[in-house]
Chain A
Amino acid sequence: MTRPTTASERPAGPAGLDPGAFRHLADAQVNVELDTGDMILNLGPQHPATHGTLRLVVRLDGERVISADPVIGYMHRGYEKLTEFRTYPQVTTLINRIDWLSSFANEVPFLDGAEQLMGIEAPPRAKYIRTVLTELSRIATFLLFLGEMGLQVGALTPAFYGFRDREHILNLIEAATGGRFHPNFNRIGGLKEDLPWGWMAECRDAMKIVFDACHTFENLVLGNEIFEARTKNIGIIPAEVGASYGVSGSNLRASGVDWDLRRDGRPYLVYPDLDFQVHTHPDGDSYSRYVVRLEETREAARMVLQCLDAMPSGPIMAKVPRIIKVPEGEVWVETENPLGQMGYYVVSKGATGPFRVKIRSASFSNVSILPWLLQGVYVPDVITILASLYFILGDIDR
C-alpha cells in the first residue's frame, strides 16, 4: 500500500488526521461476525424507575433481556425484628413506613388484628373515618401512579397532573391527621381525634377534583397512540402465574382475576356496607394495569362519597385499657391495600408488645415475579414493566 508521505499530499481530515490511514482497519472487520457476547446491565440501585433503591442485574443479548435478577435489601430495616421490642402502639409508627405512599392503609390491618385479639371493636364512626382515610390514601397512591406511569414511558405532562392533584388529597390527610405521609392516626380501639370542622365538605370538593383528574388521564393517556404502543402486550402476567407468585391487588385484577379482599375477604372496616364494583381487565399487560388502576381511583372516590353520606355520629374511641396488653393468641389479618394484599400474622403472648409479627407486604411478592416476567423483553420495556407493576421499596424491603 502506498501512502502519501508528506503533509501537503494528504487530504486534510478533521483534526489533521488522514481518514485514509484508518480505512484498512475498517476493511478488516467487515466480514468478521460481530462479537455479540452477553452484556450485564446494572439497572439501579439509583434508577429513577425503581422508586428507591431496587437494583436489577440484567443479562442482555443485544437489546433483549436473557435473565434478570432483582437485588433488594438496600433499604431493609428489619421491622419484623423491631416489632418484637416495641409495644403495640409503638409498632404503628414503624408500619407507617412500610408503604410510605399509603401509610394509613398499612396501620389498619395491624390494629385490626390487635383489636380482634383483644376483643375490641372500634365504634362505627371510627370505622367510617378509617375507611375514608384508607380510600384517600388509595387515591393519592394511584394518582401518583397514573401520572408517573406516563413519565416512565416518555410523557412528561401526566406526571405534573398526577402530582398536582395528589396534593389535594395529601392536604386532606394532613388536615385530618396532622401528617402528610405518616399519619400514625389509628389507635387500638379507634382514632386519635375526630375530623376537623368543615373537613367533610372539603373532602367532597376534592373528590370532584379526583373525578376530573381521572377524566383528564383517560383522555390524555389512554387515547395516546404512543402510550398504547409502549404498554400494550408488554409484560403480560397470566392469571395463574401471577397468583402462584403471590402477585395481588390491581396487578392481579388486571390479569382477569376477580378477587378483591374488600369484597371477598374477611369483612373489615365498613366495606360490606358500601356499594362498589371490582374492576378487572382480561389482558394482563401493562396497559390493562393502568386501566384497572384508573377505574379503581374513580371507585375509591365514589366510596369516599358514600362513606361521607353515611357518616354516623358518636364516639371515635372504644373503651380500651390504659395500658394495652393483648391476650395470648395469634391472628392472621389481611386487607386490600393500594399496592395489593397487606397482611400481618400477629402472635401475642399476653404482653404489651407482640411476640412475632410476620409482615406480608404486597410489593415483595409483586416484584418477585420480575425474573420470570422480564425474560425476553426489550430493555425499554423493562422500565414500562417496572412502572406498571408499581411497587414501593419500603414495601419490598420492610
Chain B
Amino acid sequence: MPSPDDAAPGSAAAADAAAGDAAAPASDSDAVVSEGPEGSAGVPPAEASEPMRQEQQELHGRLSVLGDSVIESTQVFDDIVVRIKLESWRRAAEVARHELECDYLSFISGIDWAPAPKEGGDEGASDTSAPVQPTEMTPGAAGAAGRYQVFAHVQSTRRHWGVTFKADVDESDPRVESWVSVYPGADWHERECWEMYGFSFDGHPSLRHLYLPSEFEGHPLRKDFPLLARVVKPWPGLVDVEPMPGEPAEASATAETTDQ
C-alpha cells in the first residue's frame, strides 16, 4: 500500500513542496491545462475544440425542453450536469432518450452529501493514514438541497455527447421514479442504488438485493454506515511510521497510544 509520499518518487516536487500543507496543485504554468473544477453554467471549458463547442451548445439548446424542471445546470469539465426536480426524474430520461438522442445508459447511482463521521471517533484524530474529510456539508456541482441525491449519466452513441442528471431525494422518504421503462439497463443500477442507499424506485419490476445477501440490514454507502473493518481494528499503517529525521519522536508515541 503506497503512502502519499510514494506518489512522486524522485520528482523535484518532493523537495520543494513543504511536507504537510501542500494543498495547492502544481503551479507550473505549462502543466496546468484545465480550468477550475466548476465553470459557470453553460460555458464550455476553454480548451474545448470548436466542433466540440458547437455540439455542447446544441446540447444546451435541446436541454431547454425540460423547461422549469431544471433547477440548475452547470458545466463540469467536458460534462454537463443538470439538476432537475425530483418529480421530473422519469421525464428527464424520456427527454434524454428521445430529444437528446442519448440512447446509451452509462450508470445510475446515488450520493450522500452528509459529512463523513470521523473515523474511530475523536481518538482517531491523529490517524493520518485515512483522509480527513470536511465536517460541514457542502453541495457538489449544480447544488444540492438535502443530503441525498440520485444521479445518472446518459450518452449518445451517435452524437458522442453525454449528460449527467441529478435530483434531490427526500431524506425521510427516499423515493425516485424508476427509469426501467425508458432504459431497461436501469434495472441493475437501481437495484444496486436501492440496497446501497435505500432509495426506493417506483415502478421498478423487482427491487431486491443485487450484491448483498438478502438478510443484510442497512445501506452501506450512506455516510453514517461505518466501515466495519476499521471499527473492529484500526488501520495499522500508522504503527509502521517512523519519525522523519529531525522530527520529534512524539508523533510515533501518540500513534502507539491511539492504536491500543
- B19 and A323 within 8 A (CB): yes
What residues of A have a CB within 8 angstroms of the CB of B14 in the complex? 322
- B20 and A323 within 8 A (CB): yes
What residues of B have a CB within 8 angstroms of the CB of A247 in the complex? 185
Give Cα distance in the complex from A212 to B127, angstroms: 54
Tell me if A302 counts as interface (CB < 8 A to partner B).
no
- A72 and B211 within 8 A (CB): yes
Tell me if A117 counts as interface (CB < 8 A to partner B).
yes
- B185 and A264 within 8 A (CB): no
Give Cα distance in the complex from A108 to B196, angstroms: 26
Q: Which of B74-119 contact A (CB under 8 A)?
A: 76-79, 81, 97, 103-107, 109, 111-112, 116, 119
Tell me if A246 counts as interface (CB < 8 A to partner B).
yes
What residues of A have a CB within 8 angstroms of the CB of B111 in the complex? 347, 356
Of B6, B25, B31, B211, most buried by chain A (CB within 10 Å of CB) is: B25
What residues of B have a CB within 8 angstroms of the CB of A397 in the complex? 211
Tell me if B36 counts as interface (CB < 8 A to partner A).
yes
What residues of A have a CB within 8 angstroms of the CB of B140 in the complex? 330, 347
- B107 and A350 within 8 A (CB): no
Tell me if A171 counts as interface (CB < 8 A to partner B).
no
Q: Say whether, besides A119-B34, A329-B141, A360 and B153 are in contact (CB < 8 Å).
A: yes
Give Cα distance in the complex from A352 to B25, angstroms: 12
- A116 and B77 within 8 A (CB): yes
A363 to chain B, nearest CB (A): 11
A117 to chain B, nearest CB (A): 6
- B31 and A327 within 8 A (CB): no
Q: Say whether, besides A73-B210, A322-B13, A259 and B157 are in contact (CB < 8 Å).
A: yes
Give Cα distance in the complex from A30 to B215, angstroms: 48
B39 to chain A, nearest CB (A): 11
- A321 and B6 within 8 A (CB): no
Q: Which of B59-67, B130-138, B169-177, B252-260 contacts A (4 or more CB under 8 A)?
A: B130-138
Q: Which of B189-233 contact A (CB under 8 A)?
A: 196, 209-213, 220-221, 225, 227, 230
Tell me if B5 counts as interface (CB < 8 A to partner A).
yes
What residues of A have a CB within 8 angstroms of the CB of B138 in the complex? 328, 349
- B220 and A322 within 8 A (CB): no
- B107 and A86 within 8 A (CB): no
Q: Say whether, besides A85-B227, A93-B1, A244-B105, A321 and B13 are in contact (CB < 8 Å).
A: yes
What residues of A have a CB within 8 angstroms of the CB of B151 in the complex? 345, 358
Q: Which of B25-49 contact A (CB under 8 A)?
A: 25-26, 28, 31-34, 36-38
- B157 and A120 within 8 A (CB): no
A96 to chain B, nearest CB (A): 12
- A350 and B3 within 8 A (CB): no
CB closest residue in chain A, given B160: A264
Give Cα distance in the complex from A332 to B154, angstroms: 12
Of A82, A86, A355, most buried by chain B (CB within 10 Å of CB) is: A355
Tell me if B72 counts as interface (CB < 8 A to partner A).
no
Give Cα distance in the complex from A214 to B188, angstroms: 36
Give Cα distance in the complex from A151 to B26, angstroms: 51
- B34 and A116 within 8 A (CB): yes
Give Cα distance in the complex from A263 to B183, angstroms: 25
What residues of B have a CB within 8 angstroms of the CB of A80 in the complex? 196, 221
B200 to chain A, nearest CB (A): 20
Give Cα distance in the complex from A398 to B34, angstroms: 30
Q: Say whether, besides A93-B1, A189-B26, A329-B76, A320 and B8 are in contact (CB < 8 Å).
A: yes
- A322 and B22 within 8 A (CB): yes
14 contacting pairs across A/B (C-beta < 8 A): A85-B119, A116-B34, A121-B32, A121-B33, A187-B6, A244-B103, A317-B8, A318-B26, A318-B31, A319-B13, A320-B13, A327-B36, A331-B77, A332-B77
User: What 9 new A-B contacts, CB under 8 Å, besides A320-B17, A331-B77, A334-B106?
Assistant: A73-B212, A80-B221, A189-B13, A246-B104, A259-B158, A321-B17, A330-B37, A330-B140, A372-B184
| Interface set of B (CB-CB < 8 Å, partner A) | 1-14, 17-26, 28, 31-34, 36-38, 76-79, 81, 97, 103-107, 109, 111-112, 116, 119, 130-134, 138, 140-141, 151, 153, 157-158, 160, 162, 164, 183-185, 187-188, 196, 209-213, 220-221, 225, 227, 230, 235
4 closest Cβ pairs, A-B complex: A329-B37, A353-B131, A321-B22, A245-B185
